[in-house]
Structure 1
Amino acid sequence: MPVEIRDYYAVLGVRREASTEEIQRAYRTMARRHHPDVNREPGAEERFKEISEAYHVLSNPRSRRKYDRFGAGWRQAPDDAGPRDTGRRHAPPSRSTVDIDLEDLLGSLFGGRFGGRFGGGFRGYQSGGLGSTPVPGADTQAELTISVEDAYLGGRRRITMPGPAGRPRQYGVNIPAGVVEGQRIRLAGQGAAGARGGRPGDLYLVVHLAPHPRYKVEGRDVMVDLPVSPWEAALGAVVPVGTPGGDVRLEVPAGSSSGRRLRLRGQGVPNPRGTPGDLFAEVRIVVPGNLSRRERQLFEELAAESTFDPREAGRGAP
């Protein structure tokens, strides 16, 4: 059902004397901004329908002439009704029709999810006078999941994604060292094809980090568990700790309890444009599962000698 509006020119933000090319440019800009799959604000869908209705009428020379003469009642006017003399002159069309397809404008964004809600219902809107003006292709977006090690070290990977008509397509991707969750990698010219000789759009890969059995990444900081023995925790020690870039040595202070976080500055995810993240190793005391006779004897001697009560210490007793 057509959307009733007050002023089609005001809806598109153009002068009443605007050329067909100006109307097309205004529509492209506003359609990208207000498409409800991009704009989640209340009323976005109705606003988008209003914009599309305005373009549908003003891009067609015949319906535009009727609208200029009869205003809101243009639909009831006879097809042979001529324009009244308003002193305005519209640029004559250089060709009869040209299609503006939202699938070209929006359809391949976010992995092709556009077009489902509107189902191509705007396909075939026609306008006059656009001639062979090049129309650039839309930028597209897809998801790219990588390992924590790839994010830390970078490298080149080949990925396979759906291409035109659903056919698989391979891309070579340079993953920069220090890429983080949510960052976008741009592949120039790999987006949707342009129309009438227009340049293709770009493909943007949104990076996601795959869950890792050992590392947890928050921004550029990396968290890792650090298993230590009871005597290393009590006496202090220098122990190896694994990072996505390889093992480093870390000093465990004497008297470290489980849950203590030790910080290694600059050992987190690199930052090509600034300060790298930090690595936080959380102490986790691990006791032997099977004690030798001598180990048991030593632990028994320690138990008999020590006055330390971890439950009292946990309650904050002096």
Structure 2
Amino acid sequence: MRDPYDVLGVSKSASAADIKKAYRQLAKKYHPDRNRDDAKAKERFAEINTAYEIVGDEKKKAQFDRGEIGPDGKPKGFEGFGAGPGGFSRAWRSSSGPGANQHYEFNFGGGGGQGGAGGFDPSDLFADLFGGRRRAQQTPERGEDVAATATVPLETAAKGGSARVILPSGRTLEVKVPAGVEDSQQIRLRGQGQPGLRGGESGDALVTVKIAAHPYFRLEGRDLRLDLPVTIYEAALGAKVQTPTLDGKVELAVPAGSNGGRVLRLRGKGLPATESKPAGDLYVALKIMLPEEPDAEFEARLRELRERHHYDPRRKMG
């Protein structure tokens, strides 16, 4: 048998609370219910319980520390038979160490229970041992958490709403989506995971929110980006144009002389603010568009402009 302190991974000076904590962690890890096909785990579980029966009991711990009992819980130094009808006894005296000059006598008799004031009843030890294992097996255990994904439209992420999610068990739930939720943010549903063992509480369901792609807006954190088509004369002369946002259309001022790709910012028009994060912004990139259908007069004006006002936008590129 190994030293019970080594089995539990604690020092000899560890407190009762630390010993109990170490025992619970190891017992949960190697419990037979969680390791049904692992024979070594079952042996480890038995070893953990035996160790805790020694150092988890104040009296037995003191006896072990004094060297009176071994790591298996049996008294040290008793051997031989012949103390009377149907039993045996052994006297043992310590002459050195912490238990010096102390006398211990163990009597296993067939006629008298514990065999006197100094007697030892092995049935108590086995009752404690197997009773400890039984208590460990009956300890409530929390159920496992489960993971699921809910995909929602950008508008739902911004304004809040609900989404339907299917758990690994096949069960369908309606999830409340808070306003301003970000992509890949998790929502915890208490008690919606795997059921607990032996009366333990159920685990949770961890739902990851995924925001679906939008036909116009691109999501970057809490900000939104939008490519806004404008005419060549709106970009050249400046204009006020209608721009979509999550709250509806607003009027955007396009400065005169704007080139394609110029980015204008609308503050606070991204995802709305939450208790912990400010509102995002909407970044609008201008995209100069020509007429969809050819127009002879328009093309003639452009040719005239090319001849009278020629310029080279690539001159700085070498």
- What's the TM-score once normalised by structure 1's chain length? 0.63
Q: Structure 2 CA distance, aligned partners of 1:219 and 1:29?
A: 40
Equivalent position of 1:286 in the other structure:
289
Instruction: Give the letter aligned to residue 182 of structure 1.
Output: S
Is 190-199 or 204-213 further displaced after alignment?
Answer: 204-213
Is 272-281 or 21-30 further displaced after alignment?
Answer: 21-30
Matched, 1:300 2:300: no
- Give the secondary-structure state (helix, strand or coil) at the position aligned to 2:249: strand
Contact 2:151 2:163 in 1 (8 A): no
Is 286-295 or 267-276 further displaced after alignment?
Answer: 286-295
Counterparts of 1:131-150 in structure 2, within 5 Å, are: 132-150=138-156
- Give the secondary-structure state (helix, strand or coil) at the position aligned to 1:246: coil
Matched, 1:56 2:58: no
Q: Structure 1 CA distance, aligned partners of 2:229 and 2:178?
A: 31
Counterparts of 1:30-41 in structure 2, within 5 Å, are: none
**Distance of aligned partners of 1:93 and 1:146 in 2 relative to their CA distance in 1, 3 Å threshold:** farther
Equivalent position of 1:41 in the other structure:
none
**Distance of aligned partners of 1:187 and 1:156 in 2 relative to their CA distance in 1, 3 Å threshold:** same
Matched, 1:130 2:136: yes
- Following superposition, the deviation at residue 211 of structure 1 comes to 3.2
Contact 1:139 1:202 in 2 (8 A): yes
- Give the secondary-structure state (helix, strand or coil) at the position aligned to 1:243: coil
Instruction: Give the letter aligned to residue 280 of structure 2.
Output: G
Unaligned runs of 5+ in 1: 1-5, 32-48, 66-80, 98-126
Aligned with residue 270 of structure 1, among 269, 272, 285: 272
Equivalent position of 1:252 in the other structure:
254
Instruction: Give the letter aligned to residue 247 of structure 1.
Output: K
Is 272-281 or 282-291 further displaced after alignment?
Answer: 282-291
Percent identity between matched residues is 35
Equivalent pairs, count: 244
Counterparts of 1:181-220 in structure 2, within 5 Å, are: 181-220=183-222
Instruction: Give the letter aligned to residue 6 of structure 2.
Output: D
Q: Structure 2 CA distance, aligned partners of 1:52 and 1:261?
A: 63
- Following superposition, the deviation at residue 194 of structure 1 comes to 1.5
- Following superposition, the deviation at residue 197 of structure 1 comes to 1.9
Counterparts of 1:89-100 in structure 2, within 5 Å, are: 93=128
Map Cα deviations across residues 236-280 of structure 1 (whole Å, 9 max, x no partner). 111122234432221111111111111111000112124100011
Is 217-226 or 129-138 further displaced after alignment?
Answer: 129-138
Contact 2:149 2:165 in 1 (8 A): no
Map Cα deviations across residues 10-68 of structure 1 (whole Å, 9 max, x no partner). 1799959789964553237879xxxxxxxxxxxxxxxxx9x968952434449988xxx
Contact 1:9 1:16 in 2 (8 A): no
Unaligned runs of 5+ in 2: 31-37, 55-71, 77-97, 100-123
**Distance of aligned partners of 1:7 and 1:131 in 2 relative to their CA distance in 1, 3 Å threshold:** closer
- Following superposition, the deviation at residue 149 of structure 1 comes to 2.3
Instruction: Give the letter aligned to residue 149 of structure 1.
Output: E
Contact 1:8 1:54 in 2 (8 A): no
Contact 2:262 2:285 in 1 (8 A): yes
Is 216-225 or 55-64 further displaced after alignment?
Answer: 55-64
Task: Work out which of the two has the higher radius of gyration on C-alpha atoms and give 1 or 2.
Answer: 2
Equivalent position of 2:24 in the other structure:
25
Q: Structure 2 CA distance, aligned partners of 1:275 and 1:91?
A: 64
**Distance of aligned partners of 1:91 and 1:137 in 2 relative to their CA distance in 1, 3 Å threshold:** farther
Equivalent position of 1:9 in the other structure:
8
Equivalent position of 1:162 in the other structure:
168
Aligned with residue 176 of structure 2, among 174, 178, 203: 174
Contact 2:149 2:210 in 1 (8 A): yes
The higher relative CO (CA closer than 8 Å, separation ≥ 6) is in 1
Q: Structure 1 CA distance, aligned partners of 2:219 and 2:12?
A: 46
- What's the TM-score once normalised by structure 2's chain length? 0.63
Map Cα deviations across residues 166-221 of structure 1 (whole Å, 9 max, x no partner). xx211011111111022111112111212222221221112222333432211101
Instruction: Give the letter aligned to residue 142 of structure 2.
Output: P
Is 242-251 or 214-223 further displaced after alignment?
Answer: 242-251
Equivalent position of 2:228 in the other structure:
226
**Distance of aligned partners of 1:191 and 1:134 in 2 relative to their CA distance in 1, 3 Å threshold:** same
